């Protein structure tokens, strides 16, 4: 201990920060945030990984404690910490359960930023992470090129051969292969820069956020979203040059890349006055609505941006965030005006974590499903538990993800619904794989895809 014990809180805090912390300044979990955790434990049973393993280290309370211990110099930022933080799905169910208002998502993203800065992962892991977060996701051209290769594999018969030959099983890849999205025949890129007119009286003018990977695998969903918005009186602009939202990078702790993408998006979407900016991806929406945090006081300190740049970006974020809406949230606020035809279906809904826990939106998607005449809505048990998709989690932690998926499909099947509706492309891929692997014979749709089928479009 250097010198006399600290006299005031401020001195003590400074001493913590300067001499003890295992974190470095900038994008670090902060005392003000982690100390809100009063370790009451109410989050434990809401956490998917704690429910699986029942180990405190893999619970929200335990993960926050590890951050506190590192910040206070009692634990080192080493392999153990990295393992437990990597295993977190960042589903944020703990935030919904937490009575003290701990912003866990913010904490874990910052913990990951610290790992990114201060921990040396094995060479192969580093190479893959660098490629995905720093090169692939930021460049639509690279995504398109990759997509064409995968499409060739899927449609040339190679995939059938790989499956039939047992090669995938031999390589232990059959589960991951089931998660591989079906690449679209036509990509969404051709819609960039276009404006889609409102049907009937124009009630709103909105910008559509198209996503990155979604543009090569969810063209149909994006088209359906635009159609539903049009049918309900929205003029939909799809700004060209828009970028990936940065969610995957931010979740992985690659915050400089996320910040770069955020800056590009804010410039483009704020160029014209829109009533709202719409996304159909809950995961993207959650990050887009949290752009302010990427430019908070301490963000990127000692690194990639000057104070002036940060302040300017923080200003833009303050303007951008209030406009950002999930499509379900926006449609409920606007009110459906397009007529809906009857659909005799039994439907259940799987909460997308980043809609429910990230954006605190629970009722909007359920209201939209119930709005369709003839639909019988059946709530599934534990609908608020993650399906195991969790961004890239199903690829990085496949075994855990598949365990969660198996439980999810059991609950989904118990509702006897023929359609599982959800609100995020990642969840759709995961649940579709689940329906196939567990042969539940259920169709998986996004809320707006269900609405699109029910909407009477006048064309």
Partner 1 sequence: MVFERLNYSSTNMDRHLLSELERFLGKDAVLSRPEDLLLYEYDGSVEIARPQCIVFPRAAGDVVRIVGLANRYKTPIVGRGAGTGLSGGALAREGGIIVSFARMNQILEIDAENQRAVVQPGVVNSDLNAAAASAGLHFAPDPSSQKACTIGGNVSENAGGPHTLAYGVTTNHILGLEMVMPTGELVRIGGKAVDAPGYDLCGLFVGSEGTLALVTEITVRLTRLPEAVKTLLAIYDRVDGATETVVEITGRGITPAACEMLDGWTLRAVEAWVHAGFPLDSAAVLLIEVDGLREAVEQHAKEISEVCKTHGAREVRVARDAAERDLLWKGRKNAFGAVGRLSPTYYVQDGVIPRTKLPQTLKEIDRIGKENGFEIGNIFHAGDGNLHPIILFDARDPKQFERAVSTADAIIRFCIEMGGAITGEHGVGMEKDRLMPLLFTEADLALMRRVRDAFNPAGLLNPGKIFPTGKGCGEVRIRPMPQRGEGNSAPATGRDFA
Residues of this chain that interact with partner 1 (CB under 8 A) are: 1, 5-6, 9, 12-13, 19-20, 35-46, 54-57, 62, 65-66, 68-69, 72-75, 78, 80-81, 97-101, 381
Q: What is the DSSP string of 13-55?
A: HHHIIIII-SSPSSS---HHHHTT-----TTGGG-HHHHHH--
CB of 396 to partner 1, least distance (A): 20
Name the minimum Å distance from CB 63 to partner 1: 9
Lookup: tokens for 137: 């996701």
Tell me the sheet residues that pair with 445.
Answer: 421
Smallest distance, partner 1 to C-beta of residue 135, A = 34
Please, what is the minimum distance in Å from the beta carbon of residue 19 to partner 1?
Answer: 7
Closer residue to partner 1 in complex, CB, 408/432 = 408
Comparing CB distances to partner 1, the nearer of 62 and 140 is 62
Around 256, how many Cα atoms within 13 Å sit in the side-chain half-sphere? 14
Say if residue 92 is exposed, middle or buried (CB neighbours under 10 Å; 0-12, 13-18, 19+): buried
Residue entry with tokens 């908070």: 296
Instruction: Tell me the helices (H) and strands (E) count for the chain, helix number first.
Output: 26, 9
Report how far Cα 410 is from the mean position of its chain's Cα atoms: 24
Minimum CB distance to partner 1 smaller for 101 or for 273: 101
Q: How many Å apart are CA 151 and CA 128, to the nearest integer?
A: 21
> Which of 98/212 has CB closer to partner 1?
98
CB closer to partner 1 out of 66 and 401? 66
Structure tokens that stand for 70 in this block: 């590192």
- Cα 327 to Cα 418: distance, rounded to the nearest angstrom: 23
* Whole-number CA gyration radius for the chain: 23
- Helix 327-334, helix 363-371: angle, nearest 10: 60
Other CB atoms within a 10 A radius of the CB of residue 51 amount to 17
Using the structure block, give the residue that is written with the tokens 């649940």: 431
Least Å from the CB of residue 356 to partner 1: 16
Q: Which is nearer to partner 1, 98 or 248 (CB)?
A: 98
Give the residue with the Cβ less far from partner 1, 98 or 284: 98
CB of 14 to partner 1, least distance (A): 11
- Least distance in angstroms from the C-beta of 345 to partner 1: 25
- Residue 132: both structure tokens together: 């995905």
Query: Would you say 56 or 223 has its CB closer to partner 1?
Result: 56
Residues 6+ apart with CB under 8 A from 322: none
Rounded distance between C-alpha atoms, residue 208 and residue 240, angstroms: 10
Q: Report the DSSP beta bridge partners of residue 420.
A: 348, 444
CB-wise, 7 or 458, nearer to partner 1? 7
What span, in angstroms and rounded, lies between the C-alpha atoms of 353 and 283?
Answer: 8
> How distant is the alpha carbon of residue 396 from its chain centre?
15
Q: Judged by CB, which is closer to partner 1: 287, or 415?
A: 415
| Token digits of residue 316 | 């833009």
Q: How many residues are given for the chain? A: 459
Nearer of residues 98 and 266 to partner 1, judged by Cβ: 98
Calpha distance 145→265 (Å, rounded): 22
CB of 31 to partner 1, least distance (A): 9
- Among left, alpha and beta (phi > 0; psi -120 to 50; other), residue 138 is alpha
Q: How far is the CB of 230 from partner 1 (least distance, A)?
A: 35
């Amino acid at each position: 201990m250097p010198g006399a014990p600290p006299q005031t809180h401020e001195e003590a805090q400074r001493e913590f920060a300067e001499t003890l912390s295992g974190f470095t300044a900038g994008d670090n979990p902060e005392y003000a945030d982690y100390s809100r955790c009063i370790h009451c434990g109410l989050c434990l049973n809401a956490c998917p990984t704690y429910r699986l393993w029942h180990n405190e280290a893999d619970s929200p309370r335990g993960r926050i404690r590890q951050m506190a211990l590192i910040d206070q110099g009692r634990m080192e930022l080493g392999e153990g910490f990295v393992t437990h933080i990597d295993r977190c799905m960042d589903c944020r169910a703990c935030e919904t359960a937490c009575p003290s208002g701990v912003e866990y998502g913010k904490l874990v993203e910052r913990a990951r930023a610290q790992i990114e800065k201060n921990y040396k992962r094995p060479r192969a892991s580093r190479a893959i992470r660098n490629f995905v977060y720093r090169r692939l996701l930021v460049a639509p051209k690279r995504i398109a090129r990759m997509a064409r290769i995968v499409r060739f594999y899927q449609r040339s018969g190679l995939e059938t051969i790989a499956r039939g030959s047992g090669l995938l099983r031999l390589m232990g890849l059959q589960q991951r292969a089931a998660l591989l999205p079906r690449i679209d025949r036509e990509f969404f890129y051709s819609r960039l820069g276009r404006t889609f007119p409102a049907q009937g009286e124009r009630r709103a003018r909105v910008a559509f956020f198209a996503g990155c990977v979604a543009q090569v695998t969810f063209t149909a969903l994006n088209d359906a979203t635009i159609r539903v918005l049009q049918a309900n009186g929205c003029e939909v602009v799809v700004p060209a040059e828009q970028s990936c939202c940065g969610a995957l990078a931010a979740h992985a702790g690659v915050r400089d890349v996320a910040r770069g993408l955020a800056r590009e998006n804010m410039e483009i979407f704020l160029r014209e006055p829109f009533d709202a900016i719409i996304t159909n991806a809950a995961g993207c929406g959650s990050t887009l609505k949290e752009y302010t945090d990427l430019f908070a006081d301490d963000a990127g300190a000692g690194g990639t941006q000057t104070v002036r740049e940060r302040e300017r970006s923080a200003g833009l974020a303050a303007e951008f965030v209030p406009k950002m809406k999930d499509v379900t949230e926006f449609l409920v606020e606007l009110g459906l005006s397009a007529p809906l035809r009857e659909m005799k279906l039994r439907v259940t809904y799987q909460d997308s974590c980043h809609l429910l826990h990230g954006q605190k939106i629970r009722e909007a998607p359920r209201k939209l499903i119930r709005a369709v005449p003839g639909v019988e809505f059946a709530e599934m048990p534990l609908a608020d538990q993650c399906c195991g998709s969790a961004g890239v989690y199903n690829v990085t932690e496949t075994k855990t993800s598949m365990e969660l998926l198996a439980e999810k499909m059991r609950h989904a099947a118990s509702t006897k619904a023929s359609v599982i509706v959800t609100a995020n492309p990642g969840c759709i891929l995961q649940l579709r794989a689940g329906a196939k692997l567990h042969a539940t014979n259920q169709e998986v749709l996004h809320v707006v895809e269900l609405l699109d089928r029910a909407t009477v479009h006048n064309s």
